Amino acid sequence: MTSLTCLERFKQLAEERSSLLCVGLDPDPERLPEPVPKSIAGIGGFLLKIVEATREHAIAFKPNFAFFEALGPEGMSLLQALIREIRTHTPVIGDAKRGDVGPTADRYAHALFKIFGCDATTVTPYQGEDAVRPFLTYRDRLVFVLGLTSNPGASDFQLPSLFRDVVRKVRQWNDHGNAGLVVGATRPEQVREIRELSGPMPFLVPGVGAQGGSLEATLRDAEDGSGLPCLINASRSILYASSGANYAEAAAHAAQGLREQISRAKSRGSASP
Amino acid sequence: MTSLTCLERFKQLAEERSSLLCVGLDPDPERLPEPVPKSIAGIGGFLLKIVEATREHAIAFKPNFAFFEALGPEGMSLLQALIREIRTHTPVIGDAKRGDVGPTADRYAHALFKIFGCDATTVTPYQGEDAVRPFLTYRDRLVFVLGLTSNPGASDFQLPSLFRDVVRKVRQWNDHGNAGLVVGATRPEQVREIRELSGPMPFLVPGVGAQGGSLEATLRDAEDGSGLPCLINASRSILYASSGANYAEAAAHAAQGLREQISRAKSRGSASP
């Protein structure tokens, strides 16, 4: 790896690869393409092919820890090896949604950044400052705190107003400029407000593909003048683009399509009055 | 394992062992007793000795996933083996604080209950109903949702009122009678209110030892007439009771002491007007 911070590396790649795309890696044995063996080795080979096929279109890969933990300790070994491989060319967001009291958060941060070697991670804010700070002490990494998520349950607690408190606090805690926010694309009406509250920091935006958020509005409202307002994540729509032997080409095609869709939405957004 | 649910098993053991004690397992290489080798094997041997020394005083063991993840995939293998061993005599609460959108929560629940074999777990409510429900579908297990935690950061979001919304929702979601709440002992003034809102369900209470909560008030205010109002967790005060070769005896002594303290506090609490 270079000595750039994760955020600097994202900005560099966003230019080099003309992309804001993050490819999520959620290996579900029930959804693997037909020809892929449902074994650790099979899943590993599948993911590496997806990564190779899509890397020119992506500025990040986001393995979802749950899907690897569900494969047991061998799945965690696979995850560790996979991250090591991906980082040789593209930063890795370890999507783990961890959150616990200070001394435990410290161990989770160590696990994610030092043992698994992630460049960035996702963190749950429910337990407050001492649950988030230990991650932020890794100044060269990036920490996406859950702000307003894209799932139906977001309306249970995050809405109508908790997400605002979280965004304000994350801004306060951002001493090292390495905080970001998870902001669901299914709620475009709130993206602008979250940006006003957050100031410049990257958003990680899930829910554009399968969950059908509005890309153009999200990109316009997330703009922060920093060169990297947001990363747009897609997981299943790329990973499982085909259930046949052509899954890697199909994934590449889906990733390229979404990258171009992002570019068009971006230029339309900036061209609009 | 028997065919009792986790909650039934806790109640049975609470009677058999006259205890409400949960022993937390947070293996920190920096805090291991002097004679314990700082290796996976050394840590495994240490934890097994602690478990053997304290099991007659405890109704649950609570391995903290962060401390095992920080040991890498080998640490996860150790955790899996340790849980298998402990479950032959005592239920295991996998303290993982997971929480994510529905399909991901489904994978986390599978990992915790099926792959690691935990009898119970802890869950973070920030993402709402679809993040919690997949855990609750395992009817024979027990799911402790974070209510009001014992750390300083609890005042960032949980207070002044979010924890009430969470408690109300958990009660609504408790179709199978297998939900519980994490309620910090450092906030005894809120325990009674949480009990009024929750109705009968077990609380998992951290923060009695190191963090200095009030045991007697907590036990009195958590009472729900179910026979198992709460589990009282202690981790470091038992695990690291001695840094010398006598660590197992010291742990047994600390566990016994806390068990007796709980009994005394309970009888004082029920004797008071």
> What's the average model confidence in pLDDT over B23-31?
97
pLDDT at site A241: 97
For B133, name the nearest residue in chain A, comparing CA atoms only: A153
**B30, B95, B124, B130: which to substitute to probe chain A, counting the most A Cβ within 10 Å?**
B124
For B158, name the nearest residue in chain A, comparing CA atoms only: A126
The nearest CA of chain B is from the CA of A25 a distance in Å of 12
pLDDT at site B188: 73
- Residue B230 pairs with which residues in a beta bridge? B203
SS3 A31: helix
pLDDT at A1 over 60: no
For A101, name the nearest residue in chain B, comparing CA atoms only: B151
pLDDT at site B106: 98
pLDDT at site A212: 54
Domains (ranges, CATH) in chain B? 6-267 (3.20.20.70)
For B149, name the nearest residue in chain A, comparing CA atoms only: A127
**A25, A64, A82, A97: which to substitute to probe chain B, counting the most B Cβ within 10 Å?**
A97
pLDDT at A67 over 90: yes
Give Cα A88 distance to the centre of its chain: 18
Active site residues of A: 97
pLDDT at A272 over 70: no
Supply the pTM of this predicted model: 0.97
Per CB-CB distance under 8 Å, the chain B contacts of A116 are: 72
pLDDT at A112 over 60: yes
Helix, strand, coil shares of chain A, percent, nearest 5, are: 50, 15, 35
Per-residue tokens: A122: 């996702």
- As a whole number of angstroms, the distance between CA B35 and CA A251 comes to 53
Per CB-CB distance under 8 Å, the chain A contacts of B76 are: 69, 72-73, 76
- As a whole number of angstroms, the distance between CA B268 and CA B108 comes to 41
Question: pLDDT > 70: what percent of chain A?
Answer: 96
- As a whole number of angstroms, the distance between CA B171 and CA B183 comes to 14
| Total Cβ atoms within 10 A of residue A154 | 26
**pLDDT per position as a tens digit, A200-254:** 999 999 977 655 568 888 999 999 999 999 999 999 999 999 999 999 999 999 9
pLDDT at B208 over 80: no
* Residue contact B131–A151, C-beta within 8 A: yes
The nearest CA of chain A is from the CA of B249 a distance in Å of 26
pLDDT at A273 over 60: no
pLDDT at A186 over 80: no
> What's the average model confidence in pLDDT over B168-184?
97
* Residues in chain A, overall count: 273
Per CB-CB distance under 8 Å, the chain B contacts of A165 are: 156-157
Number of A:B CB contacts under 8 A? 175
Mean pLDDT for all residues in chain B: 94
Per CB-CB distance under 8 Å, the chain A contacts of B101 are: 149-151, 153
* Residue contact B105–A76, C-beta within 8 A: no
**pLDDT per position as a tens digit, B90-110:** 999 999 999 999 999 999 999
User: Which DSSP string corresponds to chain B?
Assistant: --SS-HHHHHHHHHHHTT--EEEEE---GGGS-TTS-SSHHHHHHHHHHHHHHHGGG-SEEEEBHHHHHTT-HHHHHHHHHHHHHHTTTS-BEEEEEE---HHHHHHHHIIIIIIS--SEEEE--TT-HHHHHHHHT-TTSEEEEEEE-SSTTHHHHIIIIIHHHHHHHHHHH-TTS-EEEEE-TT-HHHHHHHHHHH-S--EEE--SSTT---HHHHHHHH--SSS--EEEEE-HHHHTS-SSTTHHHHHHHHHHHHHHHHHHHHHHHHH--
